[in-house]
Structure 1
Amino acid sequence: MPLLLAEQCRAARGLLDWTQEELAARADVSRSTIRDFENGRHHLHSATALQVVAALERGGVVLIPPDEAGPGVRLRNPIA
C-alpha cells in the first residue's frame, strides 16, 4: 500500500491552497515529480513519498488511509 495516493496529494494541496510548486519546495523535490505523480505518470519512491507526506503533515493535513469508503484527507484542528 503506498504511503500517499495521487488523489490524496491533490486534495491535500487543495485544502492547504498550495500549488504544485509550493508543495515541491516544501518537500524538497522537483515540481515535475509532483506533477507526474499527481497525473499518474509514475509512483513516488518511498523516500520521496516520505518527504511529500511530511511536508503535507507539517502544513496541517491528516492523511486518512483507504478503508471501505476510500482514502481521505482532512485539516488538523488548530490548537486554540
Structure 2
Amino acid sequence: MSIPKVSVEQVKAARALLRWSQKDLAERSGVSLPTVKRLEAGTGPIGGRDDTEAALRGALEAAGATFIPENGGGAGARLKR
C-alpha cells in the first residue's frame, strides 16, 4: 500500500503550524530552497521526485506535524499531541 501524496497546501499548513519559513524547511529536509519555493508555488499534490516529497514530509513529521488524508472533510495538517 502506498502512502498518499501530500498537497502543497498541506505542506504550507504544516510549515505554518511549526512556524517554519521556507528556508527552515529546506535546511531541515535537505531540499534546496529554490526547490521548496518552486514546489510551493504550485497547487495540488507535491510535484517533483518522490524522494523530494519524502524528505519534505519526513522533516515536517519529525518536527511534530501530521497529515490528515482526504476523508470527506478535506485533507489537512495538524500538530501531534
TM-score interval, smaller chain = 0.7 to 0.9
TM (norm. structure 1) is 0.87
| Paired positions, count | 77
Structure 2 equivalent of residue 36 of structure 1: 38
Contact 1:3 1:50 survives alignment (8 Å): no
Larger strand proportion of the pair? 1
Task: Work out the percentage of aligned pairs sharing the same amino acid.
Answer: 38
TM-score of the aligned structures, taking structure 2 as reference length: 0.86
The runs of 5 or more residues in structure 1 that have no matched partner are none
Q: RMSD of the TM alignment (CA)? A: 1.8
CA deviations over 1:30-69 (Å, ceiling 9, x no partner): 1111111111187131111011110000110111111212
1:60 is aligned to 2:60? no
Misfit runs of 4+, over 6 Å: none
Using CA pairs under 8 Å that are at least 6 residues apart, name the structure with larger relative contact order, 1 or 2. Answer: 2
Residue 58 of structure 2 aligns with an amino acid whose one-letter code is A
